[in-house]
Structure 1
Amino acid sequence: MKLSDIDIRRYLEAGWLAIDPLVERHIGPMSVDLSLATRFLFFKHSQLELINVRESTLKDELKQADLMDEIDVGHEGKFILQPGQFALGSTVERVSLPNDLAGWLDGRSSLARVGLMVHATAHTLEPGWDGAITLEFFNAGNVALALHPGVRICAVSFEKLSTPVERDYGEKGGRYQGQQGPQASRLNG
């Protein structure tokens, strides 16, 4: 069962759930809007022939720095996402979940209607998650999109589990636990 705004506030006030910084007006009826941070990662297209996604191959052949370039556009800048382009960004907010709550990341409808996808597939925050959320941007439209830091870019909703998990994301050694900005794939991690 998803948490309502009343339950989200109750979880936040009790310290069971944390969103930092929290903007009160971003709490909706069943989700919390999150804002876009300033850093972006994008593939070095001209230097890559292919990326073999089999973990053992990736571990041997490529390192994270070989895959992507990073840019920080600052608070007043913008990142231009071309049609068909994929890039990583992140939320400003750090989200911390207890071991009996899962989070679900969704794009905003208004942004989807101009072709912006904010997660390719990774939309689940497992119980015990703690960190900023990496966003997987894809421009499915046919015109470039300007992504401005600070805008409400996505929403996260929360679902109560029937029981707390035995081992949460942090305890099982989650690869992205504690991230503070966009994180490239850690298939080689």
Structure 2
Amino acid sequence: MKLSDVHVREKIQAGDITIEPPLSEQQIGSFSIDLRLGNHFRIFKPTKSPFIDLGAVDSAYAMSEQLMEDIYIPDDGAFYLHSGELALGVTLEKLTLPNDLVGWLDGRSSLARLGLMVHITAHTIDPGWDGNITLEFVNIGQIPLALRPQMRICAISFEPLSSPSACPYTKKSHAKYIGQSEPLGSQIDKEQH
């Protein structure tokens, strides 16, 4: 069962959920919180490489790092996501969750109706999470979309677990994105086999 706005506010006031910078009233919905877009993006550079070999873990990571570049957009600027493009972005807000809550990230309906996907498949925010959230943008529409820093880009809701997690995200030996503050590319090379 997801937390209502009443219980989300209680968790924030108690310090169980921390969000920095502080939220505005417009960001708090009936059971979710709208998160805003940060200024840092990562995109794939044009390449002649025919593929990234996902079966060759070490080379897949190295290849993705070589193929990506960082882009910083000023507060008054825009990042243009063209039709069919994939780009990584990051939330402005840093989020810390307790060991007994899981977060569920969703795109905003108003943006989805224009063709924007914000989390291809990665929408679970683990108990014990601590960091900004990397967003996986794809424009499935036909017209480029201008994404502006600080716009409300996605929503997060919270669901209590049946007990605190015995192994929250920050305690996992194979956690690849602990404390991230920028959009990180695939860290598939850090997976245990």
**TM-score under structure 1 normalisation?**
0.95
- What corresponds to 2:110 in structure 1? 110
RMSD in angstroms over aligned alpha carbons?
1.2
Q: Tell me how far 1:61 sits from its aligned partner.
A: 5.6
Whichever residue aligns with residue 40 of structure 1, its letter is: F
The separation in 2 between residues aligned to 1:100 and 1:62, in whole angstroms, is: 32
In the alignment, is the contact (CA less than 8 A) between 1:126 and 1:169 conserved in 2? yes
Moved over 6 A (4+): none
2:5–2:28 contact (8 Å) kept in structure 1: yes
> What per-residue deviation string (whole Å, max 9, x for no partner) do you get for residues 157-176 of structure 1?
00001111111011013110
Q: 1:30 to 1:61 in 2, by over 3 A?
A: closer
Structure 1, unpaired ranges of 5+: none
Q: Give the 3-state SS of the residue equivalent to 1:138 in structure 2.
A: strand
Q: Structure 1 residues 62, 176: closer, same or farther in 2, change over 3 A?
A: closer
Listed as ranges, the gaps of 5+ residues in structure 2 are: none
Distance 1:61 1:92 in 2: 28
Q: 1:61 to 1:144 in 2, by over 3 A?
A: closer
| Alignment size in residue pairs | 187
Q: 1:123 aligned to 2:131? A: no
SS at match of 1:45: coil
Measured in 1, the distance between the counterparts of 2:159 and 2:38 equals: 25
| Number of the residue aligned with 1:38 | 39
Paired residues of 2:94 and 2:130 also in contact (CA < 8 A): yes
The residue number in structure 2 matching 1:167 is: 167
Q: What residue number does 1:156 align with?
A: 156
Percent identity of the aligned residues?
Answer: 48
The CA deviation string for residues 60-112 of structure 1, in whole angstroms up to 9 with x for no partner, is 36525303111101111111100000000000000100000000000000000
Residue identity in the other structure for 1:168: P
Q: TM-score, normalised by structure 2?
A: 0.93
